Every structure is written in structure tokens, then in C-alpha cells.
Structure 1
């Protein structure tokens, strides 16, 4: 008996396509089994068994992924009309999506090529009834895929709520085979602590941290599995890997499942799920919350101070703020000009503000005038030299200034009020986010209100930092005096007759922020403790582009 594919005694050339995903292999849908079933159906229909090159196999690919190497090779061969019909074990081997299956069958039909199922012989694209059954079976495969996903998702959510870890163990942890929960891997955890310690205390960039870690042959997670890397070799850490490690909340014992709609994308508040869908689990802590926050600040400052696309250096770049509107002062350059008499006019570097008030109106801030760098340089540099050479006198002057300009005589009471306001602003930000996620706020309005909140939070955190400086114990005062003296002893030769580049390095490393208000300048200075002075002086020996403003818990702060 002749089949549809044997009309007019024409020899029908067959090809076969087989596919399994990783979980289907376990269920018994093996590649060999599918291939044998397909070839058996080809012989039964009287078609020519496929050549080896026309047996297309995709191992480990899901039915919703159209970017499969063997499938694409088969489509290219179909365009060249190297066969007449394609056999699959089941329709869902092509796709688990009705639209994609029918589109593929239509495309193949334009090349004169049919599709047939070995297990579902009624699915035959060469006749109307077969095409109807094709549609039905493809829709069934899509529904089955949706049901599998739903059951899998429910199982994952249940495991999440039980605190189980559903991915490979991150660096510093291992998975308990019994509970499926994370436990600390002591051999790796000691390195995690070191990474945070070096990054914060020595104020390294990610590149500098990478160079140190790779020079010490610290084993990666991949190395600890005993497998061999095909790229970069053993003990190689990428900058991006270290950056992800330093920014992961896992190491402070916090992990939230289902927080973002698309976890693989860059994380931002606009991609958050509603908070009731979040699933928080507890994880053993490796680093303290304080160290983690300092590492985040270090990452942010590294990004801000990156020398990328920098053509000209400024002594006070990214350090100046307006004391009225709170905006950052931006640096700009006035090129030298030739006077009428032929002499060359000196070039200038200036700093100017954003010209907007804190309420973001069109009114200009009168305090955001142009400040000449050379004038700032004389005042600030002389202040630094005076502080380091005569710390006792300068610290007394600082305390006198604080008492005269403080908003409250009771520093601790004022600090409590600011702490309460900080909590209030945090809750307000959370309510704003929930309002946006519920759809009661547009994206543009949310961004505007969030920006206003961020500015207010910055002002409050800055005021808290200022007040903490007012509360200075005798012990802290003596430590700062000792640090200043030790630092002056190391830098005395550099300070006297320093070049512009040397001044940039010292100011970049010592000064965190300068607030300008008319003719007054309030300078916030970081003084390293004696234990960190060797690292500090080593930082000044680096190229100018790598010097930035940093802060950590081992550094004391003073104000001029």
C-alpha cells in the first residue's frame, strides 16, 4: 500500500529531528530512543532512511528555545531541498508553542517539505486533516508546557519558603545535602572576609583588588570543584566576579527570592515585584552589615572617581558642594588667550553650581557663583598643612567653630531627632514604591518624587555625619592628634614645595567634602589611624588617576 509520500512512485528522501531537554532525558525520552522510533516510522512508510548528515540532534535544549544549532542546520538544509520530509518523534520535539510550530511547518511547506510525527501518525502536514491535527497537538504541547511550568514554579516557591537554596552555592558557602540550605564554607569564607577587608581598608579599585587576588593564587569556586578551566586558567578572578561578590547581600545574611520581575537584568526599583510576593530567607553571615555598607560606598566612589574619558584633572573635582542649595559644584576650564599686546593670558580652572534651588524651581541659587581654583587651593592647602603640623591648635579651632555654628547645644538630642527623620524618610520611600507598584503612580511622577526624597535623605545623612563630629571624646581627640603628627612626619617633605600633581594626590586622599557658602569653606577631612598610614602613603605613590576620596570605619574624621 502506497502512502501520501509515495505518489507517482517517487522516492521520498527523509530527514529526522530529535531533541531532549535535561529533565526529559531522565524521563526516558532519550536521543537514541527517539532516533530509532523515527527511523522505524520512515521505513514503515516506505521512505528512504536518512543519511547521517540528515539526522539532526539537539541535546539539552528546551522546546521554547528556537536558537538550537541542529534545528537551524535542518532549516538551512531544507532551503537547499536536500530532503522531502522531516520525521519527529512527537510534535512537541519541534516546539512547545503553537504559533512557532505552525510558522515552522508553513516555512518548510514553501520549500516543498512536509513534516510527520512517528508517535502521532495522524499529524501529517501534507493533507488538510493532518494539518488540523498538527494544530491540535501543538496546542496540547503548549498547554502541557504551561502546566509543567506552573507545577515547577509552585514547587520552587514552596522550597523557597522553607529556606532551601535553589542554585549552585555562592562563593563562601556550601549546600547541606540533607536540608538543602546554605552553610559557611570556612576555606572560602576566609577569603571573602579578606576581599572586603582589603577593598575597604586600603581603598582599592576593583582592578587593584583583582591583581592582588590573582597574584595570591586564591582558588575560585570553579577551581574548588576540581574541574579545569578552558579560558584564563586556574586561580583567575575576573573584575566583574569580584564586583558581584562585594555587592551581594548574601554575605550579611540577607537573600530575597522573587524580588525582581527579571532577575537576570540590571536590578532597579522599577523592575520590582509587589512586596507581598517577596520571599526572604535567612543565611549564615560572613561579613558585618557595616563592612558591607562601606564596600557599597567604596564601589560607588570608585565609579564616581573613575578616570575614564578624563582629559584634564582638577584639584577639587567632585568634592565641592553649595552650602545653600546642596548641589554639587562642577569643574570647568577657561582656555588661555592671547592679549592684544601679544602676551599670553593665563588659563583658569573654575567651579560652578547647577544654578537651581533645592525645590527644583527655575530660580537660580545666588550662592552657586564661580569659584577660582587657584584661590581655593591657597586656603585649603594652607589649612591642611596647618592641621598636620599643629594638630592640637587646629582641633581646638575646629571645636570652637562647631560650638559657634551648631544648630543645637544638645548634640545628642539633635542627633536623635535626625535619626527619627531618617527612619521617616526611609518609610516614606517604601510607601512611595508600593504606591508605584500598585499602579497608582505613573513612572515619571515616581521618578520625580523619588529624586526629591533622595536629595532630602542626602541632606539628613550629611547632617548626621556632621553632628557625629561634634561629639568628640578626649580619647578620640588624642587619637586624631597622634594620627596628624604621624602623618606629618611621613609627608613633611611632600607638603613643602609640593607640585600641583602632589597637591591633587594629598587633597584627593585626605579631603572628603568641601561645603562653600559665600567666602566661607567648611572642609571635611579624613585622618587615617596610625596603623593605616603606610597604606595611605603608598596610595600617594600611585598614578594621579587612581587617587580618590574614600572613607571607612578605621578612619577618623575632623572638620576645618
Structure 2
């Protein structure tokens, strides 16, 4: 008497919704597999292996599929029965693993609706993978056409919006919209993200999912340009379903939406976030009065500040503080700005503080530089305006070149290999001229000081002369941020200090000098080198 073959059945659907569909539900697959086994005379010796998971992603293991392969290695059955080949695999990787088990154990595979055996398994895997790629391409083409028509197709709507399926666009959520406006106005007025999160959570204002707010969620809202009316589709370049690169803003498809805040508020918030990041007390554990002011003359990067609280595992009574060149730290071997790479913070701070306070105590040098600067300001401003016009003209040319390259790419006149180097070159040149225009504008603004600044400078120096004694390190730091633009350190540790004479304004509270002044100065001054 011939022994019946032992069979194990495998069924799979991609999602919970498909599990209840009539055309290929789990119940339909199981019924057809049982009928097939009875007709063939197979004995089903185990419960069906069931997966509710997509078969397109070969990087994620399917639990039931893996268990089936393991049982096949143990000899639990002689044959695997599935409804169709694509239920077992949709890419070459799971097909290869299945074939390896078949070769080592002798287990065979049969399918109900389409014939398949060991010899055609590789062909079926290739056909399934091509089908998935075609489906993915058609889906992306459909989404792209909707995006070009101004429809929202980029996933879940951000906080403050809700999706209207009748027009396939976003519109304001009445409650969340007011909260987003408040978030932007709060930060635009100089508040921090941390204080905003604290107030929201204390007031019981929860996120869309009913959970407390975090810093990351607020930061994501503040940095999203969709709130100015600009949503984008196609932010990433994909190949075979995998993200390989991010696209530039010019390459993305713009989807207009109803704005929540103006461009002016959004840009002001971005500047405030950068400022908060720069001056955050979390940057260092100890007070470094020259933090964000020191720059390396060798590599044109800023100095970082750090403190050391222990040595050889033992705590130090007084923390050791240092300033180090970021260029040498981030790109070791590329820059050789100085040896050692770090400078003693206490020594450097004493030198700078003494020089700055001496300059304001005896301001003849500063006033002389200011007079000479005012005398030659018109001539220098004319030269800078000429350079600025030329730089703006070059920037406009690069913008046109960039648009032309992108147009050629959309018309398929450039291949991917030709497009990438051309885009990289044009963008690099465009960035260079943008920075040049910005630098020239800053220089022109610093030269547009009138003779009244001289009187302001004298008044300022007289007002703070008696107040720069017995101040705390934090007060020193705040004062230097007001009157020092940058401090350049060269290879020999010589210092060049750029001083700003601030603009006199109304009296604020808690300042270290009787005559107050704003953070924005009217001019820069450079005096002689000093070494330490």
C-alpha cells in the first residue's frame, strides 16, 4: 500500500482588510488548499501556516513562513501546498531560501491555481518581483499626477490641518489651527521650545493622539514650510522601493495649501531657533564667556567649548575648561591649525576681557578708528556696491542655469549620470554667489553709520567704565556678546578682536551698565594683534 504524502499548507494576505475580501481571503485560500490536498490524496498533518504581511519587503521576516521552513528542515511534512506562487514569495530572496530548503530536505512545493515545481520556482520568483515593481511604478505615477494637479498625496496631514477627501486637499482644523498659530507667535517673540512644551503640558493641551507634547514635536512644526502654504511631494529619490537620496527643493512638486502663518513670521521663527540653539545653556556645563565668539583663522570654523570635571576617574575641585577648533576636531588630519588643538579657557578669557575692558576704559583707540572709518565710509561703500551688483548679476545667471538644467532633466534630454554632476556644479556656484551677496550686504550695512555714532560711542564708554568691576562670569558673557562681533585666533595664538559699538536705546532691566544698548551694532572695529 502506497504511503500518503504528508502536507503542510501556507496561506498569506498583505493586510487585515484583504483577509476578509472574497477574492483571496484567508478562508478562500484555506478551502482551496484543503480541497486540492484531498483530490491529490495528501494527508494534512499540521495547522495551516498563516501570515498577514506584505510579501514585497524581503527585509522583514514573515513569522509563519520562517516557522514553515524550520518545520520542513525537521521533516514535519513532505510537501508544501500554497494557493498561488505569489503567496509564498514576491521577490528572489524568499524564493532562494525556499529552494535551499527544498534541495536539502527533499520537500516539494505545489500550488493550487497555477502549476509550479522546483525547476520553475526561480522563474516564478522573477515574474512576481517584476509584477511588484510594475505595481509600485504605476502607483507612484498616479500619485505624481495627483500632486501635479494640486492634490495632497503626502500621507497623514500635519498638525493644524485635516484632509478633505471630497477635494483631496488640506484645510484648517479649527482647534489645532489656533494652537499652531500660538506656537509660531510664541517662538517669534523670543520664547524657547522648552518653555512652550512646559506650558502646554501644564495646561493639559495634548497632541492629536492624546499624549503630552515633546520638544521634538514642537520643533517639527516650527521647521515645516507647509504652514506657509508650501507642501511638497517627491522629497526623496527611490530605486526599487528604497530611498537612495534626497531631492532638492527645485526638483520637488509644489502643492499649494492654505497657509497658517506668513512667510515673515516663519523666517523670524527660524532665526529665533538658530539663536536659541547658539546661546542655549545646554551647550556647555560650565560658563564660557567667549562661547560662539572665537573663530579659527586657519580653517575659518568656530571654536567649541568643553569642560572636564574629573581626571583619572577622580572629580576635580575646579572644572578644567577648554576651547577647541571645530575644524581639527571634525576633520582630523585635514587641518593643522595649531598645536595643541585646544586652548586653556581661563588664560584666553582673561586676555580678551582685560583688552576689551581696557578699550572701553580708555576709548581713544576705538574713537580714532570710528573717525577714520566715517571719513572713508562713502568711498568704501561705493566699491562695495559695485561688487554687490556684479555678485547679484552672477547669482541671477546661476539661478537661470539651474532652472535650465532642471528643464532639460524633465524633458529627458539629460540622463541621470549627466544630471547629477551638472546639478552639483551649478548648486555649488549658486551657493558661493549667495554667500558673497550676503557678505557684501553685511559690509555695506556696517559702513552706513553716520557721525552720530561717534557721540553714542563716547557716551557708551563713559557709562560702562565704572560698571565692569566685580561682575559674574554670566554677566561678562552677556556683555561680550553685545560689544564683540568675532575674535579670530591664528596659528601662533594671536588674537584679532572685532568690536561693535552698539546702538543706544531705552533703559532695560538688569544690565551691567547704566547706558543700555541693543544687540545690533552699527559698525565693526579691529585693533592690533595680541598674543597669549
The answer to whether TM tops 0.5 is yes
Give CA deviations for 1:494-524 in whole Å, capped at 9, x if unaligned.
965212243225545x468325598863335
Cα deviation, residue 252, structure 1? 1.6
Residue aligning to 2:142: 155
Cα deviation, residue 461, structure 1? 1.9
Q: Distance in 1 between matches of 2:504 and 2:73?
A: 71
Is 1:100 the equivalent of 2:123?
A: no
Q: Which aligned pairs between 1:131-142 and structure 2 lie closer than 5 A?
A: 131-142=118-129
Q: Contact 1:331 / 1:351 at 8 angstroms: preserved in 2? A: yes
Give CA deviations for 1:271-297 in whole Å, capped at 9, x if unaligned.
43795x632221222222233334334
- SS of residue matched to 1:314: coil
Residue aligning to 1:198: 186
Residue aligning to 1:377: 353
Q: 1:278 to 1:189 in 2, by over 3 A?
A: same
Residue aligning to 2:486: 514
Q: 1:523 to 1:555 in 2, by over 3 A?
A: closer
Cα deviation, residue 171, structure 1? 1.0
Residue aligning to 2:252: 278
Q: Contact 1:511 / 1:526 at 8 angstroms: preserved in 2? A: yes
1:61 pairs, out of 27, 47, 54, with: 54
Q: How many residues align?
A: 475
Q: Which aligned pairs between 1:320-331 and structure 2 lie closer than 5 A?
A: 320-321=294-295, 327-328=300-301, 330=303
Residue aligning to 1:228: none
Residue aligning to 1:467: 444
Is 1:292 the equivalent of 2:266?
A: yes
Is 1:39 the equivalent of 2:26?
A: no
Give CA deviations for 1:220-245 in whole Å, capped at 9, x if unaligned.
2333xxxxxxxxxx3x2233322222
Which ranges of structure 1 fall in alignment gaps of 5 or more residues? 1-6, 124-129, 224-233, 336-346, 356-360, 388-394, 541-553
Which ranges of structure 2 fall in alignment gaps of 5 or more residues? 309-319, 329-333, 407-413, 513-517, 525-532
Q: Contact 2:72 / 2:101 at 8 angstroms: preserved in 1? A: no
Q: 1:354 to 1:36 in 2, by over 3 A?
A: closer
Q: Which aligned pairs between 1:152-551 and structure 2 lie closer than 5 A?
A: 152-166=139-153, 167-204=155-192, 206-223=193-210, 234=211, 236-262=212-238, 271-272=246-247, 278-301=252-275, 310=284, 313-321=287-295, 327-328=300-301, 330=303, 372-380=348-356, 403-404=374-375, 406=377, 408=379, 418=388, 421-422=391-392, 424-425=394-395, 428=398, 431=401, 439-440=417-418, 454=431, 457-458=434-435, 460-468=437-445, 497-507=470-480, 510=482, 513-514=485-486, 521-524=497-500
Residue aligning to 1:84: 78
- SS of residue matched to 2:498: strand
Q: Distance in 2 between matches of 1:209 and 1:314?
A: 27
- SS of residue matched to 2:68: helix
Q: 1:115 to 1:43 in 2, by over 3 A?
A: same
- SS of residue matched to 1:287: coil
Q: 1:13 to 1:437 in 2, by over 3 A?
A: closer
Q: Contact 1:529 / 1:555 at 8 angstroms: preserved in 2? A: no
Q: Distance in 1 between matches of 2:256 and 2:79?
A: 56
RMSD: 5.3
Q: Distance in 2 between matches of 1:189 and 1:385?
A: 53
Q: Distance in 1 between matches of 2:92 and 2:40?
A: 26
Q: Contact 1:21 / 1:59 at 8 angstroms: preserved in 2? A: yes
Q: Distance in 2 between matches of 1:209 and 1:401?
A: 47
As a proportion of its length, which structure holds more strand?
Answer: 2
Give CA deviations for 1:26-61 in whole Å, capped at 9, x if unaligned.
57322222222222223333333354xx32222242
- SS of residue matched to 1:16: strand
Which deviates more, 515-524 or 161-170? 515-524
Taking structure 2 as the reference length, the TM-score comes to 0.69
Q: 1:455 to 1:142 in 2, by over 3 A?
A: closer
